[in-house]
Structure 1
Amino acid sequence: MALSTVVPVSNTEINLRLILVSGKTKEFVFSPVDSAGDIALHVYDNWPEADWSSECVSRAEILRLIYQGRFLHSSVTLGALGLPLGRTTVMHLVPREHLPEPNSHDQRQKSKGGSSSCCSASCCIL
């Protein structure tokens, strides 16, 4: 679970700056073994009432993390994301009942081996 909500962060921890939809931010310090679900629970249990009182949610399970434009599943750990230790990483925190379904573009990319480029190797420009 989270180590504390105090910064600075050591070289064995990850500082997360969480941004709400309203633009309000708060920083928390976590271990690389903490999962997105652990983070949601910790933030819910330690909700910053003074700063985020108008954003309060009814339960931890609806808090979702977004990193690099993608929703994180609750089992994904910070270490699995390759986040740098001793540094600050920014993520969005949003209330959402269910994760969105992958769109057809994501499915095509997965079937091609995860390439994120718009063209395949056989693409040519005339």
Structure 2
Amino acid sequence: MAETELKGEKMDQDVQQPADTHVMSAEEKARADISRSEWENPMNWGGPGNTAVYFSKRDKRIWVPKHAPGAGWTVNLAHTGGILWLVGLCMGMILVLALAASWVFSDQIVRILM
């Protein structure tokens, strides 16, 4: 019984602790409002179904969530950082494919060279 009471007291203490709260400054709120309005603007989206490519100079985020919940994230191609991310991801995929191809065909390459 005493053990149950101790667990109950511990749970009450956990609930009573104040959560960390962050009060947004006026600048942060304005930036969040701009990002939200730009993200909701269909003119900033392109591609199939207007959900694949995002381009907004006013939205300072490089990575933005796609419109469909759970569909993932996309880069903001209006910023240099977004373009660099896109190029880096493409180059990374090409490198992985090249390494996989060289590993798969390594026996044939050795036979050709000999």
Tell which structure's C-alpha radius of gyration is larger.
Answer: 2
TM category, shorter: under 0.3
Please state which structure has a larger fraction of its residues in helix: 2
Structure possessing the higher relative contact order (Cα contacts under 8 Å, 6 or more residues apart): 1
Please state which structure has a larger fraction of its residues in strand: 1
| TM-score of the pair, normalised by structure 2 | 0.24
